[in-house]
Amino acid sequence: MKQVFIIILLIIIGYFLANTFVEIPFGGNRIGNVESNETVAGYYLSNTAKKTGVANVITAIVVNYRGLDTLGEVTVLFLATTGLASILYRRKEEEEDTERLNLPSSRIMRSGVRVLFPAIVLLGIYVFIHGHLTPGGGFQGGTIVATGFLLMLISYKGFNTDHNRMVWIESLAGLSFVGIGIWGLLSGNTFLENTTNIGVVNSLISGGLIPIIYIVVGFKVAVELTGILDILLKIKPKK
Amino acid sequence: MVISPIHYIFVPLVAAFAIPLLSKLNKELPRIIPGIVLFYNIIISFVLMQEVNEVGYISEVIAGWRAPIGINLIITPFSGFLVSLISVLGFLIWLYGFRFKKVIDDGELRSYNILQMMMITGAIGIIITGDIFNLFVFLEIVAITAVSLTSFYRGRDGAEAGFKYLLIGGFASAMILLAILILYTQVGTLNMAEIAERMHTVPTGIKSTILILFIVGFGIEAELFPLNGWAPDAYSQAPGPTSTAFAGIVVKAGVYGLIRIIFTLFDIEGAYDFLIIAGLITMIIAEAAALKQTNLKRMLAYSSIGQMGLALIAFGIGTKEAVFAAMFLLLNHAIIKSLLFMTGSILMYNSKEKTISSLHGIAKRLPFISILFAIGAFAIVGLPPFSGFWSKLYILSAAADKEMIFLIVTILAVSVIEIIYYFRVVSKLYFAEGTTNVEVYKPKINAKISMLILGIAIFVIGFYPDLVTGYLHNAADILLDKASYIQYVLNTDSTIQ
Amino acid sequence: MIFIILLIVMAVLLLAAAIYSIVNRDLLFAVMGTGIVSVILSLFFYLLQAPDVALTEAAMGIALTTIIFIITIRNTTRDENEIIDKEEEMKMKTDKES
Amino acid sequence: MQEQFNEIFIKYHEIITIGVYGTAIALMLIGLYAILMKKNLVKIVIGLTILDAGIHLLFVGIGYIQNGTAPIFSPGYENSADRMVDPVPQALVLTAIIIGFAVTAVALSLVIRLYKHHNTAKIDQIKHLKW
């Protein structure tokens, strides 16, 4: 009976959404029924290269035009890590042994990972250093580095990310992101403003503070995701 | 460095990122830092409120880009008033919860303090941001911190309440994302002022879809009837100071988000009477449910949902008088409900199943706390000398202006229900003879101070309501006239320098 | 022409993977279903000229989301209706008595 | 190549629209079905991720322009701004995907803790807190 009720509900919602999206053209001209240069997207496309000196428009939007979003974004990840730690936290007396579950990873895996790990981390770092030129950036690069650490965490039982250093990197990265914001205020402009010169568009050193912010975000995301994975891998199943 | 709205956000962020490091220096620091930050919030609110009184609006641009291009923070008289209220309450809650925790080692202490501070920052962020996607990001910050705090205690029900909250919260944020998406396809911008300006170009079919999706999304945070299943569990499972923060702060941000969407973004006539109907249903069902609760915190949770329903009704009436009354109710409710939750958690501290019956005759052993609880109970019900009376009176008079007899009857009936279940608790507290062997938690001086301040505030507003009403009248007028908000945000790129 | 054919094939595959991951009783295969959904979604984003989002979806959706799900399954049950677990418990009890 | 693409695009316009919007809405409905119907907690969280996946696909879908290019001014594309796809939904989706991941991580940690207490991962056997 419940299934029938739910399916009817879904059909109604589906119909509801369908006839709203019938009116929204796919692949038509740019959004908004006003001509494109008055919309926000039109402004971004025509001014990013000149004003912010960044080739990747999305990086300019994520870091500079909508910088507070990314700051909120990084806080969400930071709070998720803290929340996860507090939900799965075992007090000192409950902690039998915190070494990770001993997955018997095969020889192929271990040797493969030994080769892959530096390559993955290098790729991740490349992605978030070139965030302002090529697709990708702090978040994507950080995630790639985290997957690299994940491989190491799974295949080598002895491999332990040094908790102390991770906390240092995480806090320093977060503080420097907010510090860049405060620097904008201190230097008389607004919070998170791109105060330094923006250089030539497609050169590596271009876009002023934007690449620096994205590199800092990359470190923070990498360390946070590795932290989340480390906490989750440390839980011992009951069986 | 001139004080501006962004200080509300980056100072707690610096503290939150620094706490893991500083706790290595000294174990006590994670307890003290939130206090400093929340006290600094009060200073910011004090300074900004002066400016808002003269200028009417404060708009601050982020990253140097003018309003529709970049994100702007905006403080209107109403949001300024709400944020100052939240800052003061946040500091009092911190003061109250300073030594409150049971045995806690440094890991949990660090997480608890970061999460509690960031929940308040998230709520403030929801209120002061002028960009709709930024509103969504701050809503997520509040959601994640609230879930982690709900499931903070090791007990069995904490995790269940947290999961229920996260599931409904996840669904709500999906609906809000969908609403932002459809809105963007019609309007082409994300800044609230520009959306309000271009709202007339949106065809009515799509406009009502967007409105419904927003109401579902924010209804969950503002605890409208069908969507507040999570609230009583979350309130009752969360630690003392957190449930106080839920009732006093997080719900206000949710209600403000809903009101802002309906008042500033949309101009659909139907929205107002929808608010009245939703508020009515929420109030009636929540108060009825509160009647048959045995757990004190769940009863207080249902009562605060009922009060929020009342606030939504007042906003729904839509006249200047009604909006003013609703704001006054939010102020009173925040103060009184925080006092009730604080005193309630202390009275309940040692009883295993937290039921009202375990309250028998505790008044003899905790006289100070019981008096404050009684004051809170009388105030929220609306008895004359206390502040609650004025807000209920103004709402009734606003309803009377619009000849909504049905509303007046239901509000009075609900007040009767409130009187019944609050006095039942107070009578158990004082007159029933209790089991003397229950050892009672003696609160420390800092908890007593914060509760005393709230008690005094109830009396002060009770005897001199015009301290606050003048300011609120002006705030109500500005909230209702949309044009000046749009004109101010879009045309002046006045940044505070 | 390729654009349309690719689009239709990916749309069908995407829905099939989503339904598979919902219907399947064995949670491990259900999680692999979500992995496939992320893969095809990432290709979709690439087709819709959104390289940044494709990279994020690939890194976040395929790698990390799948791994957290698998860790969760490892700490809870693998079978959705928990019939197999009950059988194991029964077996353990019988072994203990015998 | 250009006109050939446009002409195909216009000819099969409905199919493409249904292809993208249709799949996104279908994904959302499948996710919603799983959340409402399924008993197992992990399956419910899978439903949540699929619901989010549908919305992310919609987000990017609305930004697409017929025969547009990615919004990146790489060396060969300096002045092709008007052919570029709308960058704003992509920036929003970037944030939404990561928030979705954070919510899933917290949800799954709660599932693990619930399983530790109740020794079952089925939502109907965990219902202690009633309405």
Better-predicted residue by pLDDT, B33 or C97: B33
* pLDDT (tens digit per residue) in C55-68: 999 999 998 999 99
Least confident stretch, A123-132, A164-173, A214-223, B148-157: B148-157
Evaluate if residue B61 carries a pLDDT over 70: yes
- Domain-embedded: residue B60: no
Model confidence at D106, in pLDDT bands (50, 70, 90)? very high
Instruction: Give the integer Cα–Cα distance in Å for B475 and B483.
Output: 15
Of B164, B174, B181, the CB nearest to D51: B174
Helices and strands counted in chain C (H then E)? 5, 0
Give the D window 33-62 contacts with C, CB below 8 Å.
33-34, 38-43, 45-47, 49-50, 53, 56-57, 60-61
In a domain, B345, yes or no: yes
Helix (H, G, I), strand (E, B) or coil at A194: coil
Core vs surface per residue C69-84: b (16+ CB within 10 A) or e: bbbbbbbbbbbbebee
More confident position, D107 or A25: D107
The shortest C-alpha distance from D78 to chain C (Å) reads 17
Report the amino acid identity of residue B438. V
More reliable by pLDDT, B112 or B226: B112
Residue A32, pLDDT above cutoff 70: no
**Per-residue pLDDT at A157 exceeds 60:** yes
Q: What is the dihedral sign for C-alpha D60, D61, D63, D65? A: positive
Q: In chain D, positions 30-89, which contact chain B (CB-CB < 8 Å)?
A: 35, 41, 44, 48, 51-52, 55, 58-59, 62, 88-89
How would residue A98 be classed by pLDDT, with cut points 50, 70 and 90? Answer: low
- Encode pLDDT of A46-82 as tens digits: 887 778 788 888 888 898 888 899 999 999 999 999 9
Chain B: partners with 3+ C-beta pairs within 8 Å: A, D
B437 falls in which pLDDT band (50, 70, 90)? low
- B27: in domain: no
Q: Is the predicted pLDDT of residue B224 greater than 80, yes or no?
A: no
Measured between alpha carbons, how far is C85 from D61 in angstroms, rounded to an integer?
43
pLDDT band at residue C96 using 50, 70 and 90 as cut-offs: confident
Residue B301 has pLDDT above 70, yes or no: yes
More confident residue, B126 or D77: B126
pLDDT per position as a tens digit, C14-57: 999 999 999 988 899 999 999 999 999 999 998 888 899 999 99
Domain with B418 in it: 295-489
Which ipTM value was assigned to this complex?
A: 0.91
Q: What mean pLDDT is predicted for residues B484-492?
A: 74
**What is the token pair recorded at B346?**
């202390």
Across chain A, mean pLDDT equals: 82
Task: Calculate mean pLDDT across residues B326-342.
Answer: 88
Q: What is the mean pLDDT of residues B385-395?
A: 81
- For residue B259, tell me if it sits in a domain: no
Domains of chain D (ranges, CATH numbers): 2-125 (1.10.287.3510)
Backbone angles phi, psi at D122, to 5 degrees: -110, 130
Interface of A with C (CB under 8 A): 56, 58-59, 101, 127, 135-137, 139-140, 143-144, 146-147, 150, 225, 228-229, 232-233, 235, 237-238
Beta-carbon contacts of A180 under 8 Å, excluding residues fewer than 6 positions away, are A192, A209, A212, A213, A216
Cβ–Cβ below 8 Å for D112 and C72: yes
pLDDT value at position B106? 67
**B125 part of a folded domain:** no
pLDDT computed for residue B435 by the predictor:
60
Instruction: Report pLDDT for A97.
Output: 52
Q: What confidence category does residue A34 fall into, taking pLDDT thresholds of 50, 70 and 90?
A: very low
Strand partners, B73: B60, B129
Distance CA B5, CA B124 (A): 10
Provide the terminal-to-terminal Cα distance of chain B, rounded to the nearest Å: 8
Task: Judge whether B186 lies within some domain.
Answer: no
With a CB cutoff of 8 Å and minimum separation 6, the contacts of B159 are A87, B151, D110, D113, D114, D117
pLDDT for residue B497 is more than 50: no
> Is the distance from CB of A238 to CB of C88 less than 8 angstroms?
no
CB contacts, 8 Å: B105 with chain A: 91-92
User: What's the structural domain count of chain B?
Assistant: 1
> What would the pLDDT profile of B145-182 be if each residue is shown by its tens digit?
999 988 888 776 788 888 888 988 899 999 999 999 99
Question: pLDDT-derived band of residue D19, with 50, 70 and 90 as boundaries?
Answer: confident
